[in-house]
Structure 1
Amino acid sequence: MARTKQVRAVAISAFFVLLVFVLYTSTTSRSAAVAPAGVPTAKSPVDASSLIDSTNDDKLDAAINNEIAKLQGEVADPKKVDAKKPAAGAVDKPVAAKGDSTPDDKKDDAITNVKVDPSNPNSPTVFDPAAELKLIRSMSPITIFSKTFCPFSKKLKALLKENYEITPAPTIVELDKHAHGVELQAYLAEITTRRTVPNVLVGASSVSRGGADDFVALHRDGELVNLLLEWGGKNLIVRKNDAPSNV
């Protein structure tokens, strides 16, 4: 009796195995008739939200990806079938459109288009030699552009200090100490045609009145006082000292 039960159980198991095999074969045949070769069916283990990146040839991958895209309601771009799926959490870098500035161009634009904030002492400024010269010359009718190490500049300054009383006192600009002395000297060379120091400007004119040798010659000839008064106008007072000159 027990043996008969065992035989019956085996027979029932075999029947179910055969039934599952027949159903599986039938389903596989229907799927192969509908879907293109190599394209995963609805029961494929491939996730419909992923693109295929395999070792297959490009045409096969493109066909598979197009089918996946259709399930998502979009058409895949065949040119992008080789693109790797971004890792989780990855952020795409922005791609500049044609004609956009590169980082270096933006940097150059930032330098070119400097905006000065007068209320901010740390705000960048662009040096304006013309404005600087106008400010300097407003301080006195006589302006001497000099350099601290220049012997000719020292000679001229000593000549005027020791032999003349000048009111207002000349404004002396030491170009080697000025923050923008190089630019200022280049601008002076442009408007006065004198590139060396000392360089003396008197009155409202931009004409250079000369350097040390010129002033020493005028001093010896006794013409310096009259010329300074003529060049400086009514705002300048010049008197010669009675002390003997060392020049």
Structure 2
Amino acid sequence: MPSARRVRLLMMVVIAAVITTLFFTSQMRSTIPHDNRTVHDFFGKTMNGLGSQQGSGQVVMSGKGTTVDSTVKDKDGDGSVDEDDEQLAKEMADRLRAAEQKAKDLANAKAPLKPDSPSEVIGVGSSAGGQKKGGAKGSSKEDEDSKESEEDREVEATLNTILKKSPVVIFSKTFCPYSKRAKGVLLEKYSIDPAPYVVELDEHPLGKQLQARLGVKTGRKTVPNIMINGKSVGGSDEIAELDSRKTLIDKFKAMGGKQLSMKERFVGNAKEKQE
């Protein structure tokens, strides 16, 4: 069995050998260039995996250690987001922008957006509304005015034609009791030559417009409206009053002149009284 002195000596020799070995190996490592890419790749991949699990919204690019937006994905399938993936993402974005611009150019070529020439626009703003040549507001108002003028001319021409039908014209409505009363007196109690011309406004295509025009022309807006040579005698009440006073024939002959002949009929007697 070795003595304690020998054991201690052996341990010192071993320790000295280990220290010497570590010293020389450390000197050798300091002279060899150190490649950090392996460490960085491992660190980058580890952080990338942790980021995808925790949803941090950022990834670490291997080889650089810099952060990029989460829209950059592993394009080349090497298990990490690196410079190649960033380059692929950039190229794809450039292609998308080019395609979008091409689509816009094609759309503009088919329907180019051209401003109105100064000659087409007279004014701008609310005070100039409807002043654009051919504009919707101006055209609509002009068309409406033109339509009203054309209708007015048509109504006036129709009324003049009706008044020429006979010296006596009765403007009436089929359902109106006052019109029936006036027509009963004039057409049944009296014989008028030429025969009165009756216009039923509720059956005439321009009846409403004709009644409105008669209201302006004669001041009487209701029916019946009895006209003699274009002048109004009145309505049902006026005819009934003249008849009761025995002055109806005189009134009609005074307004109708020589071209109008009027007789009173006697019920139950063939004799007619000539005034």
Could you state the TM-score of these two structures normalised by the residue count of structure 2? 0.50
Note the C-alpha offset of 1:91.
Answer: 3.1
Max Rg structure: 2
Q: What secondary structure, in the 3-state scheme, does the structure 2 residue paired with 1:241 have?
A: strand
Q: 1:238 to 1:175 in 2, by over 3 A?
A: same
Q: How many residues align?
A: 156
Partner of 1:157: 183
Q: What secondary structure, in the 3-state scheme, does the structure 2 residue paired with 1:214 have?
A: helix
1:230 to 248, 251, 254: 254
Q: What secondary structure, in the 3-state scheme, does the structure 2 residue paired with 1:126 have?
A: helix
Note the C-alpha offset of 1:86.
Answer: 3.0
Q: 1:244 to 1:192 in 2, by over 3 A?
A: farther
Percent of aligned pairs sharing the same letter: 33
Partner of 1:101: 134
Verify the 8 A CA contact 1:203 1:233 in the aligned structure 2.
no
Partner of 1:188: 214
Note the C-alpha offset of 1:244.
Answer: 6.4
Note the C-alpha offset of 1:104.
Answer: 4.9
The separation in 2 between residues aligned to 1:163 and 1:238, in whole angstroms, is 11
Note the C-alpha offset of 1:221.
Answer: 1.5
Given the alignment of the two structures, is residue 86 of structure 1 paired with residue 111 of structure 2, yes or no?
no
Consecutive unaligned residues in structure 2, runs of 5 or more: 1-95, 122-131, 270-275
The separation in 2 between residues aligned to 1:236 and 1:131, in whole angstroms, is 24
Consecutive unaligned residues in structure 1, runs of 5 or more: 1-52, 56-80, 117-124
2:151 to 100, 122, 126: 126
Q: What secondary structure, in the 3-state scheme, does the structure 2 residue paired with 1:86 have?
A: helix
Verify the 8 A CA contact 1:127 1:180 in the aligned structure 2.
no
1:209 to 206, 214, 233: 233
Q: Which of 1 and 2 has higher RCO (CA within 8 Å, sep 6+)? A: 1
The separation in 2 between residues aligned to 1:156 and 1:182, in whole angstroms, is 20
Residue pairs, 1:33-72, within 5 angstroms: none
Q: Structure 1 or 2: larger strand share?
A: 2
Per-residue Cα deviation, 1:176-210 (whole angstroms, up to 9, x for no partner):
11112122111111121111111111124x3x211
Partner of 2:162: 136
Per-residue Cα deviation, 1:127-163 (whole angstroms, up to 9, x for no partner):
4333222111111000111111100001111111211
Note the C-alpha offset of 1:101.
Answer: 2.8
Q: Which amino acid aligns with 2:134?
A: S
Q: Structure 1 or 2: larger helix share?
A: 2
Verify the 8 A CA contact 1:146 1:198 in the aligned structure 2.
yes
